[in-house]
Structure 1
Amino acid sequence: MEIEINKNEIAERFMRYVQIDTQSDPQSNSHPSTEKQKDLSILLVKELIELGITDASMDEYGYVYATIPANSDKENIPVICFCSHVDTAPDCSGTGVKPILHRNYNGEEIILPDDTSQVLSAVTHPYLYKHINEDIITASGKTLLGADDKSGVAAIIQAADFIMQNPSIKHGTIKILFTPDEEVGKGTSKLDMEKLGADFGYTLDGGEAGSLEDETFSADGATIIINGVIAHPGYAKNKLVNAIKVAGEILHALPTTEWAPEATEKKEGFVHPVRMEGNAEKATIEFIVRDFDNDALIKHEERLKSIAEEVVSHYRGASIDFVITEQYRNMKLVLDENPQVAAYAAEAITRAGLDVKTENIRGGTDGSRLSFMGLPCPNIFTGMQCIHSKVEWIGVRDMAKAAETIVHLCMIWEEKN
């Protein structure tokens, strides 16, 4: 069956969503980390209800749950879920986003009007060449765009709209889930899995059209607390051990040509300092630790601890506390036990007329956690490019193809079960 997603509608939908400020806050302990994320969630519930999805609702934590009931006579079709996150990254301003629709992109440089130093060029971003004579969307130069992950949100809503308007498409029960706080690692922390009630899932949170990601980093957080020796600075000779200086020496001891994000690629892991605070008495350094292999992850942590201990050993009276916090694990460990989930996604992408590009993610998605919470969940493309930056952009055709892929997936699960 030919699926024709309305490109103008999905572009308008996406541009409406990105104008709502939904940045999450990594320093917040509330759920969601910012109340403004609920502004988009409330709108999404309204739109889902308008589509005829009567059980759409938002809970106190900002999660949106909705169900498209099965319309197939077949029994025992697994319940599948499509998930995207509403928050945008704190890396770049998301306040006052002004999306610009560039009709029939001609391949030339795009100078963003609100900051002319921000230039989008196909020379430096060659994926643009595949969008010549197609519509693309950028921000105006002062903010990120928010394609990560409002393009996924738009694709899911657009696909739901198409399915609701075309009852001849046979499918099992479909669950829709929109989460807050994915960008700060808390996207599933308050998720009610029983309420969700799905067997398998897909996040819509990927890049180039056709990409299917079934592997992520395994991830931990590492915290080094340096306990110095405090003394009045006027009488500190042979007494004071300044924790800030020790912290600086630990950072200086880290390798720079390997083992760091700026020096690694593909399946290489890394250790990355992300935050530091403190005073002369006590200082704290926070790290993220990443690798595709769990055993290698542990070795990275042991190496980091060893470096810190070696530095501190030269300071009499100083000590460290070393704390590891598990964040997420490589979803491939779960997906390999459920090969049909990714296989059906690959078939859906092919039916949408695209070449499948199976990739791994040098990062994580809600799907990483969901997979280990009992919902095997690979990641599907939406088209987002240059994410978390002022030159972030997306092709309208790619978003439409993502929505089309969702519709094909619903049909495939019905056909094969």
Structure 2
Amino acid sequence: MENLVERFLRYVTFDTQSKPKNHHCPSSTGQKVFAKALYEELCEFGLSDTSIDDRCYVMAKLKSNVPYDVPAIGFISHMDTAPDASGKNVKPQIVENYQGGDIALGKGDEVLSPIQYPELHTLHGCNLITTDGTTLLGSDDKAGIAEIMSAIQFLQAHPEIPHGDICIGFTPDEEIGRGANHFDVEKFGAQWAYTVDGGPVGELEYENFNGSTAQVICNGVSVHPGTAKGKLVNSMYIAAQFIEQMPTEMRPEQTQGYEGFIHLTAAKMGVAKSELTYFIRDFETQGLADKKALLEQKVAELNKSLRKGSVEVTITDSYQNMREKIEPYPHIIEIAKLAMEECDVEPLIKPVRGGTDGARLSFMGLPCPNIFTGGYNFHGIHEFATIEGMEQAAKVIVKIAEKTALRYQS
């Protein structure tokens, strides 16, 4: 595992931020560059079935080293970083033996503070990898990729550890909801898989939000302001009314655990037309339906109150809760739990308050829960990872491979 940190620090130098407005796959040139580098690295490992397709899905397989039949399992991570913060010119810094207090990020005034992020209180004595305060780090999900690569290299160096076929997959554009769009489940060849895309040590997730996206269009009337009296209808004021009438207790900053939310994620404003984008999330199908109905109700109420102008809404479903596709196969979760326990990691089973490639893949016939990477505060300049957490994730991957093989030993 000695190459794990070096590998991760090298990976985060690739600018792989996905671009939601670009509908090509991958959505950014940097992902193509990174995918090619990963493909070449896998080729150097000498794995079988190593491939990269024209959409930059990278796959490979470590062949079984046991004489009996073991189901092929997979490990999957995504190559892109989130559009929420810059992923260009990432300059990671290592904070050794953290003992508490604020961590200065780079040369400016930006700090990583335990007041804002109380989880830092639990990480005294750990070695942290942080940003310089100007970009995200990219541990979501380059930590996962580095952990998978290091685990595979470790299994190659230790043939005494039994394992079946281990399938590896790296996907583009997960952060913009497209990571599974062109994933070839049959080519991948696994009976089940684990996305390595979680956060703090111990996370094991097989539930995620049901997700929908709503586009709320506010229509006004544009007239030259010099002759606007009694004629102009500014759609931005209509949009402001709509935002104000949505319940504040349903905003994500007011929710946790199994509570869903309605999140205003983008706004494009203009006099004649304004467009609001909302993410609608709930763990239960009925809960999602209720939130969609509430949003439609608010549109109808605002239309009734307007003397001029109008509001319309279009709602599109994005993904579903993978729980129903994983619960019929409890051994998938049990193997991961046992692997963590044998690595002195306490399993932390919790819902994903978001979506993953694993949710889409589970509905495509590849049951795919999610395991931790050792990263924190994804999608922003305060993102960091612990070296110890990354090492534990890599060890858990190795142990899952071993436990799977031993389970099917005759």
TM-score (norm. length: structure 2): 0.94
Secondary structure (helix, strand or coil) at the match of 2:29 reads coil
Q: Which of residues 147, 164, 172 is equivalent to 1:172?
A: 164
* Paired residues for 1:215-226 under 5 Å: 215-226=207-218
1:74-104 Cα deviation digits (max 9, x unpaired): 12x2221101111111111111111112233
* Paired residues for 1:18-417 under 5 Å: 18-75=12-69, 77-115=70-108, 117-230=109-222, 236-256=228-248, 258-316=249-307, 318-417=309-408
Quote the sequence identity (%). Answer: 41
Deviation at 1:135, TM superposition (A): 2.1
Residue in 2 that maps onto 1:3: none
Deviation at 1:236, TM superposition (A): 4.9
Is there any run of 5+ residues in structure 2 with no aligned partner, and where?
A: none
- Residues 255 and 57 (structure 1), Cα distance of their counterparts in 2 relative to 1, 3 Å cut: same
1:261-309 Cα deviation digits (max 9, x unpaired): 1211211111111122253333321110001111110110111111111
Query: Do the aligned residues in 2 keep the contact of 1:82 with 1:156 (CA within 8 Å)?
Result: yes
Deviation at 1:129, TM superposition (A): 4.1
Deviation at 1:311, TM superposition (A): 0.9
Structure 1 counterpart of 2:323, one-letter code: K
Structure 1 counterpart of 2:105, one-letter code: L
Structure 2 counterpart of 1:104, one-letter code: N
Deviation at 1:244, TM superposition (A): 2.7
1:141-199 Cα deviation digits (max 9, x unpaired): 21111111111011000001011122222211111011111111111112122221221
Greater Cα shift, 186-195 or 12-21? 186-195
- Residues 108 and 282 (structure 1), Cα distance of their counterparts in 2 relative to 1, 3 Å cut: closer
Which whole-Å CA distance do the structure 2 matches of 1:260 and 1:86 have between them? 29
Secondary structure (helix, strand or coil) at the match of 1:55 reads strand
- Residues 317 and 329 (structure 1), Cα distance of their counterparts in 2 relative to 1, 3 Å cut: same
Query: Do the aligned residues in 1 keep the contact of 2:302 with 2:311 (CA within 8 Å)?
Result: no
- Residues 47 and 63 (structure 1), Cα distance of their counterparts in 2 relative to 1, 3 Å cut: same
Structure 2 counterpart of 1:303, one-letter code: L
Query: Do the aligned residues in 2 keep the contact of 1:17 with 1:150 (CA within 8 Å)?
Result: yes
- Residues 44 and 239 (structure 1), Cα distance of their counterparts in 2 relative to 1, 3 Å cut: same
Secondary structure (helix, strand or coil) at the match of 1:183 reads helix
Is there any run of 5+ residues in structure 1 with no aligned partner, and where?
A: 1-5
Greater Cα shift, 168-177 or 241-250? 241-250
Which whole-Å CA distance do the structure 1 matches of 2:276 and 2:115 have between them? 38
- Residues 235 and 135 (structure 1), Cα distance of their counterparts in 2 relative to 1, 3 Å cut: closer
Which whole-Å CA distance do the structure 1 matches of 2:242 and 2:175 have between them? 27
Query: Do the aligned residues in 2 keep the contact of 1:211 with 1:357 (CA within 8 Å)?
Result: yes
Structure 2 counterpart of 1:205, one-letter code: D
Which whole-Å CA distance do the structure 2 matches of 1:307 and 1:181 have between them? 33
Secondary structure (helix, strand or coil) at the match of 1:195 reads helix
Structure 1 counterpart of 2:296, one-letter code: K
Secondary structure (helix, strand or coil) at the match of 1:216 reads coil
Secondary structure (helix, strand or coil) at the match of 1:89 reads coil
CA RMSD of aligned residues (A): 1.8
Which whole-Å CA distance do the structure 2 matches of 1:54 and 1:401 have between them? 26
Which whole-Å CA distance do the structure 1 matches of 2:274 and 2:341 have between them? 53
Deviation at 1:237, TM superposition (A): 4.8
- Residues 122 and 236 (structure 1), Cα distance of their counterparts in 2 relative to 1, 3 Å cut: closer
1:41-66 Cα deviation digits (max 9, x unpaired): 11111111111214322211121111
Which whole-Å CA distance do the structure 1 matches of 2:170 and 2:137 have between them? 19
Which whole-Å CA distance do the structure 1 matches of 2:117 and 2:309 have between them? 48
Query: Do the aligned residues in 2 keep the contact of 1:118 with 1:390 (CA within 8 Å)?
Result: no
TM-score (norm. length: structure 1): 0.93
